[in-house]
Structure 1
Amino acid sequence: MTRIRVEREMDLPSGLRVLRALSAPHHGPRILFFSGGSALNAISRNLKRYTFNSAHLITPFDSGGSSQILRQSFDMPAIGDLRSRLMALADETVLGQPDIYKLFAHRLPRDAPQRELAAEVRAMTEGKHPLVKAISQPMRKLIQAFLQDFAEQAPADFDYRNASIGNLIIVGGYLGHDRALEPVMFLMSKMVDVRGTVRSVVDANLQLGVELDDGTPVIGQRLITGKEVAPLKQRITRAFLSDGRAEIAPDAISLPKRNRKMISQADVICYSPGSLYSSVVATLLPAGVGRSVAAQPVPKLYLPSLGHDPEALGHDLSDQVAALLAPLRADAGQDVPAHRLISHVLCDSSRKAAECRAVTERHGIPCVTLPLADASGEKYDPGKVSEVLVSLD
């Protein structure tokens, strides 16, 4: 089984790995995350101090907030979580980068008249808006071109309220590159000098679905998270992908070759904190994920969320691990040992010992507890988590 060295058994080589990463992040470890949402952003922002080689496979199935408007208007995958992770990993110290960062992070007001909001976007497209004028050429011209592609295909009644300008730029690039995410993600990464690699786990316009205890299907991420609508009142028993109307076959959507290669090159694999099903399990559903993970002999950690997760109703820690193992084994094979898919569960010291023992007894996976929470106890301390991740062996 893959070994792991963390703080409780920290030795000199582990400490040296942290110092080496801080001094030479260009050569830092290749830590791959399956994630979505914003739960990992603070850790990602800190991790770029240690490595420029982290890789992030993000779910494109979000259907809430402004992502829902973009998906309905342009029949495309969700890109909000992709933009958010790009911003978390962007190098904000390079000359000119803060200006691009400000533009990508800018949101239009929620309560302004549509006419005014459309006019603001038009000013950006024409290069007259202060946020765009502040960006030097040739980057400004490229951004204007993407916004022009967006403007030309936006519905006349497009709702600009609370729209992220970064999202609109990515949508324009997507539309201008034959509706492919990979080219525009590459360009966006270069624009803001991303210290890592951010990709959609698949480039497909699909919805996330779950099945409840009584067999009822619920399709659409926004109906699952308990954030925009009332939380589910029954336990989730499994997740699946859908075309928006019905479940699609598990092997109908495959992990792209470029993403399989990224997994094969990882030094560490991490199932991230975040909403259990919509942020983490969702990234494990495409065909090929389980096989790619099982083939890689590296540490594979589950870092469960702190605090309350509406999606984990009725799930103790061992149930959460089972929820991750289910899609991985469905792809890799039911006889694949659990430790080849998740080598360790890494928890904050506040986790009850009985929960940790249950994980090992049920799945045969070691559960390691460390003081990883911040002062609030509800979120992870980014520095502590980053140092553990770069210390793994």
Structure 2
Amino acid sequence: MPDSTKDTPTIPAERRRRISLTQTRTVPDPIRLARYIRAPEIGPKVLFFSGGTALRDTSRVLTEYTHNSVHLITPFDSGGSSAVLRDAFPMISVGDLRNRLMALADTHLLGHPEVYRLFNTRLDKQAEASRLRARLDAMVAGTDALVAAVPTPLRKLIRNHLGFFAEHMPADFDLRGASIGNLILAGGYLNNRSDIDAVIFLFSKLVAVRGVVRPVVDSNLHLSAELEDGTVLIGQHVITSGDSRLSAPIRELRLTTVIEAPEQLAEVEIDARTAELIDEAELICFPVGSFWTSVVACLLPSGVGSAVARAECPKIYVPNCGEDPEQLGLPPHEQVRVLLEHLRRDAGEDTPTELLLHFVLVDSSRADYAGGLDIDSIEAQGVEVIDTPLISDKTAPLIEPRRLVELLLSLV
């Protein structure tokens, strides 16, 4: 039989050429979107740098169009249920990871709605410690109704991780308001020698997560913010607290190793897998959410800016519509400046804007941008503004998730 490969011409490496194509797109693009809906399992790799809950509804809509989105999450939260876990164990915050896993989970056909319900359950905030411990023990034993409803062998896996956590938690651990999903993830994390990838992989299979969720780094660190008036705030829960406004705008965001010692600054680098996910992205989005503690925090580790600059795909920023307490004194054009500044700290100060950020999505007719919307000042930085309806009557003053998803995917 003849060898057909002999007839295939081989182009020497020195003669290979990279070309750039300029395209005109309609946004939203109904033909492109219809194609994604027909086959979401082969949908585009849209990557988000985010954290918290601001992208939860958008993530649910996203799964209708693609099962290949990538979510790099900040693991530095120091409040709520995550804070109690991090006080007890040297570990990253798992709360935002759990939240995004649940947002991307299939609760109907392929996933397990019983696991979904269990992961989203919180223990009573008002109950006595003895009652809460008794319920945790019942879950470990498999006699609690929520755990008993989970089919085997999934039930055994969950009981194993929850049991590992219960066995190792301190005697004075505060279970009030604890997220069961966080406790299971923490147990799996500790039981797998602090390998968060192994735990996320397991639970992604349990609830059929339609996307990739990963901490931007797997490091037990905290956020430190220096304000314009010299005040230093330690811990994400303090920086983003809704109880009191910042006394001045944020000047600098840093990583620190110990929450009690802001002077102990940390240097951390993304691993090869995170760099690969950024390199392979078909679109990169810096989305709505807490500007400093969700978006900028993801850019602090070494390697992020360089990977973004290397990625040959559209890069988009979506400012918050309305007030974000963290954005005190920071209108959208200043937010763009801060994003570019942080990306260049890693990619290099002379990195062209066209390698870091292409578009900013705004809705000038309906959104109320804190500090005002200055489109000319955004475009003066080398970034194109797409001014389009993002807010609906139903979601005002917030962005309508489906409109955002359809606009982003039309740019892939």
TM, length-normalised to structure 2: 0.90
**Contact 2:223–2:256 (Cα < 8 Å) also in 1:** yes
Aligned to 1:374: 392
Q: Secondary structure at the match of 1:326?
A: helix
State the shift of 1:249 in Å.
Answer: 5.7
Q: Secondary structure at the match of 2:205?
A: helix
The structure carrying a bigger helix percent of its residues is 1
Alignment counterpart, residue 98 of structure 1, candidates 104, 110, 113: 113
**Contact 1:2–1:298 (Cα < 8 Å) also in 2:** no
Aligned to 1:266: 281
Alignment counterpart, residue 383 of structure 2, candidates 347, 365, 370: 365
Q: Distance in 1 between matches of 2:237 and 2:254?
A: 15
Aligned to 2:138: 123
Q: Please, which moves more after superposition, 191-200 or 181-190?
A: 181-190
State the shift of 1:214 in Å.
Answer: 2.7
Percent of residue pairs bearing the same amino acid type: 45
Aligned to 2:92: 77
Aligned to 1:387: 406
Report the residue type matching 1:365 in the other structure: V
Aligned to 2:224: 209
Alignment counterpart, residue 246 of structure 1, candidates 262, 267, 290: 262
Report the residue type matching 2:262 in the other structure: A
Cα deviation digits, residues 337-383 of structure 1 (max 9, x gap): 2231111111123357951221112x111111111113242221111
Report the residue type matching 1:87 in the other structure: M
Q: Distance in 2 between matches of 1:188 and 1:4?
A: 40
Aligned to 2:182: 167
State the shift of 1:209 in Å.
Answer: 1.2
Q: Distance in 1 between matches of 2:331 and 2:302?
A: 27
Aligned to 2:248: 234
Q: Distance in 1 between matches of 2:21 and 2:400?
A: 25
Q: Distance in 1 between matches of 2:51 and 2:411?
A: 23
Q: Distance in 2 between matches of 1:20 and 1:232?
A: 46
Report the residue type matching 2:407 in the other structure: V
Report the residue type matching 1:374 in the other structure: S
Alignment counterpart, residue 194 of structure 1, candidates 195, 209, 223: 209
Q: Please, which moves more after superposition, 163-172 or 218-227?
A: 218-227
Alignment counterpart, residue 330 of structure 1, candidates 345, 351, 360: 345
Aligned to 2:9: none
Q: Secondary structure at the match of 2:386?
A: strand
Alignment counterpart, residue 315 of structure 1, candidates 325, 330, 338: 330
Cα deviation digits, residues 71-115 of structure 1 (max 9, x gap): 101121111000000000000112661111000001111111111
Q: Distance in 1 between matches of 2:111 and 2:310?
A: 42
**Contact 1:2–1:343 (Cα < 8 Å) also in 2:** no
Report the residue type matching 1:392 in the other structure: L
Report the residue type matching 2:409 in the other structure: V
Q: Secondary structure at the match of 2:150?
A: coil
Report the residue type matching 1:166 in the other structure: G
Aligned to 2:11: none
Runs of 4+ more than 4 Å apart: 1-6, 247-250, 351-354
In the alignment, is residue 256 of structure 1 matched against residue 271 of structure 2?
A: yes
**Contact 1:209–1:247 (Cα < 8 Å) also in 2:** no
**Contact 2:332–2:373 (Cα < 8 Å) also in 1:** no
Larger RCO of the pair (alpha carbons < 8 Å, separation 6+): 1
Cα deviation digits, residues 235-282 of structure 1 (max 9, x gap): 1112111112235667x2001110000011100000011011011100
Q: Secondary structure at the match of 2:374?
A: helix
Describe the shift of the 1:52–1:175 C-alpha distance in structure 2 as closer, same or farther (beyond 3 A): same
Q: Distance in 1 between matches of 2:390 and 2:354?
A: 23
State the shift of 1:326 in Å.
Answer: 2.1
Describe the shift of the 1:341–1:96 C-alpha distance in structure 2 as closer, same or farther (beyond 3 A): closer
Q: Distance in 2 between matches of 1:2 and 1:239?
A: 37
**Contact 2:233–2:239 (Cα < 8 Å) also in 1:** yes
Describe the shift of the 1:386–1:95 C-alpha distance in structure 2 as closer, same or farther (beyond 3 A): closer
Q: Distance in 1 between matches of 2:296 and 2:27?
A: 31
**Contact 2:361–2:385 (Cα < 8 Å) also in 1:** yes
Q: Distance in 1 between matches of 2:410 and 2:401?
A: 14
Q: Distance in 2 between matches of 1:238 and 1:5?
A: 38
Aligned to 2:374: 355
Q: Secondary structure at the match of 1:277?
A: helix
Report the residue type matching 1:370 in the other structure: T
Structure 2 gaps, min length 5 = 1-19
Describe the shift of the 1:316–1:2 C-alpha distance in structure 2 as closer, same or farther (beyond 3 A): farther
Q: Distance in 2 between matches of 1:38 and 1:98?
A: 20
**Contact 1:4–1:392 (Cα < 8 Å) also in 2:** no
**Contact 1:96–1:136 (Cα < 8 Å) also in 2:** no
Report the residue type matching 1:221 in the other structure: Q
State the shift of 1:16 in Å.
Answer: 1.5
TM, length-normalised to structure 1: 0.94
In the alignment, is residue 154 of structure 1 matched against residue 173 of structure 2?
A: no
Q: Distance in 2 between matches of 1:68 and 1:151?
A: 17
Cα deviation digits, residues 46-92 of structure 1 (max 9, x gap): 00000000000000001111111111011211110000000000001
Q: Please, which moves more after superposition, 235-244 or 263-272?
A: 235-244
Aligned to 2:14: none
TM-align CA RMSD: 1.8
Aligned to 1:137: 152
Aligned to 1:44: 59
Q: Distance in 2 between matches of 1:359 and 1:380?
A: 20
**Contact 1:348–1:373 (Cα < 8 Å) also in 2:** yes
Q: Please, which moves more after superposition, 80-89 or 334-343?
A: 334-343
